[in-house]
Amino acid sequence: HPHHSDPKESIMSLAEKVADTTHGKVHVPWGADGSGKYTLATKGCFDVIANCYDLLEKACAEIPLPENNKPFIIADLGTADGGTSMPTLRRVIDAIRKRDPSRQILVCYEDQPNNDFKSLFFYTQGLLKTGVAGVKPLLEGYDNVFVLASGTGFYNQCFPDNYVHLMLCCTAMHWLSKQPCTIKGHMHHTSHSVDAKTKAAFAAQAKLDWDQIMSCRARELAPGGRFVIANFCVDAEGQLLGKHNDMKHSMYDMKYVLWQEMATEGLITQEEVDRTTFYNYYRSVDEHMDTFSEGGAAHALGLRVKRGETRVVPCPYRAAWMAKRGAQAGTPEALEYARGMVPTMRTWSNSTYTSALNEERSAEEKGKLVDELFERLAKKTAAEPTEIAMPYCHWYADITKE
């Protein structure tokens, strides 16, 4: 158990753990520190997080407030640059203040050590605007609301035992801590072309990570505390991020075809394509629930799912295009739309491509090659604007600690 070991050893072991992970290969922020690029290009995440509010509202009404006027602690895990969760966290603050108007509130943001924390502080303090109408900085208009950040990854314990009253995590815990294997003939485990052995290796790593993630959260949550999560999943109809029943194409298939096309043309090597692997896993409902059932790691530590279900959130870019009168495929307007949409597919995947490219290539050359991939994706999208997009599919759950 990490708590009872020698402090020097704990620091060492955390450093050792990070050295042996997918750190630096998955979701390295794209864009300059302090530019707020993730939020600016990821409009759909505002909707995904807002879609948690019914669960958060119920949790806010039921969580026991800490005794002796101690602060109410909120943790936002895997927050990226913090912009996309601000409107929802403000509603959470309002809900707690409705119960106790003078209660001090501490918002703890968490993400990996290479996260763009600079933008997070800019957004929360209003030094950077999200570009979304009506979104206020987190701290605007409140007294006694405080913001801190943790740069420890969520595969480890990020906060002291029994510390957090309400946790939120959206669209983050599908990333894996280790690389099970590369995926030959594709880049994502959900593709039909991936062999059973590879799928099993990814599923096994995802189970280990999920048990570990939830065991850490069980320790951090105060008794009666709640954890609301929206986590990427494959639903009962086989829908997943970028692959929905009302669209002809799958985002991952399309990205793979275009990356492979660049190798065929000699712009990149086949070896680079083969190395390109998304180290993440979209769990089914059963795979999400497993750790919470009797005999599961989370269950043993007192975590229970009060409510869990899959929900679909449309791609806001696609919805806006479809609502446009007279919008036509294959036009300059369609290409402009597509160029505005594809960055939402790049903010989180850029480093998957750059880290697969040969070390001999300069950072500038790697960037240009990935630019080329997304320009090709924009052109494909412009030809069929309603058929390539990034609708979301998540497992939404309200989890409590008994």
Average pLDDT for 143-170: 97
Average pLDDT for 206-227: 98
CA-CA distance, 332 to 394, in Å (whole number)? Answer: 33
Asked if pLDDT for residue 36 goes beyond 70, the answer is no
User: In this predicted structure, what is the pLDDT of residue 20?
Assistant: 57
User: In this predicted structure, what is the pLDDT of residue 196?
Assistant: 96
CA-CA distance, 384 to 343, in Å (whole number)? Answer: 17
pLDDT top residue among 14 and 91: 91
Q: What is the mean pLDDT of the chain?
A: 92
How would you label 22-59 residue by residue, b for 16+ Cβ within 10 Å and e otherwise? bbebbbbbbbeebbbbbbbbbbbbbebbbbbbebbebb
CA-CA distance, 114 to 81, in Å (whole number)? Answer: 11
CA-CA distance, 60 to 29, in Å (whole number)? Answer: 31
User: In this predicted structure, what is the pLDDT of residue 4?
Assistant: 46
What tens digit of pLDDT does each residue of 297-351 get? 999 999 999 999 999 999 999 999 999 988 999 999 999 999 999 999 998 899 9
Asked if pLDDT for residue 101 goes beyond 60, the answer is yes
CA-CA distance, 69 to 72, in Å (whole number)? Answer: 9
User: In this predicted structure, what is the pLDDT of residue 3?
Assistant: 46
Average pLDDT for 29-56: 78
Average pLDDT for 123-151: 95
CA-CA distance, 69 to 306, in Å (whole number)? Answer: 27
Q: How far is CA 195 from CA 36, 189, 200, in A?
A: 38, 9, 9
User: In this predicted structure, what is the pLDDT of residue 115?
Assistant: 92
Say which residues have a Cβ less than 8 Å from residue 331's Cβ, sequence separation at least 6: 382
SS3 380: helix
Which of the 8 DSSP states describes residue 44?
Answer: H
Contact in structure between 303 and 218 (CB atoms under 8 Å): yes
End-to-end CA distance of the chain: 21
Handedness of CA 267, 271, 272, 274 (dihedral sign): positive
Beta strand 164-170 pairing with 303-313: unpaired
Question: How many Cα neighbours within 13 Å face the side chain of 220?
Answer: 26
Task: Give residue 5's pLDDT band: very low, low, confident or very high (50, 70, 90).
Answer: very low
What tens digit of pLDDT does each residue of 164-180 get? 999 999 999 999 999 99
User: In this predicted structure, what is the pLDDT of residue 1?
Assistant: 45
Asked if pLDDT for residue 30 goes beyond 60, the answer is no
User: In this predicted structure, what is the pLDDT of residue 71?
Assistant: 98
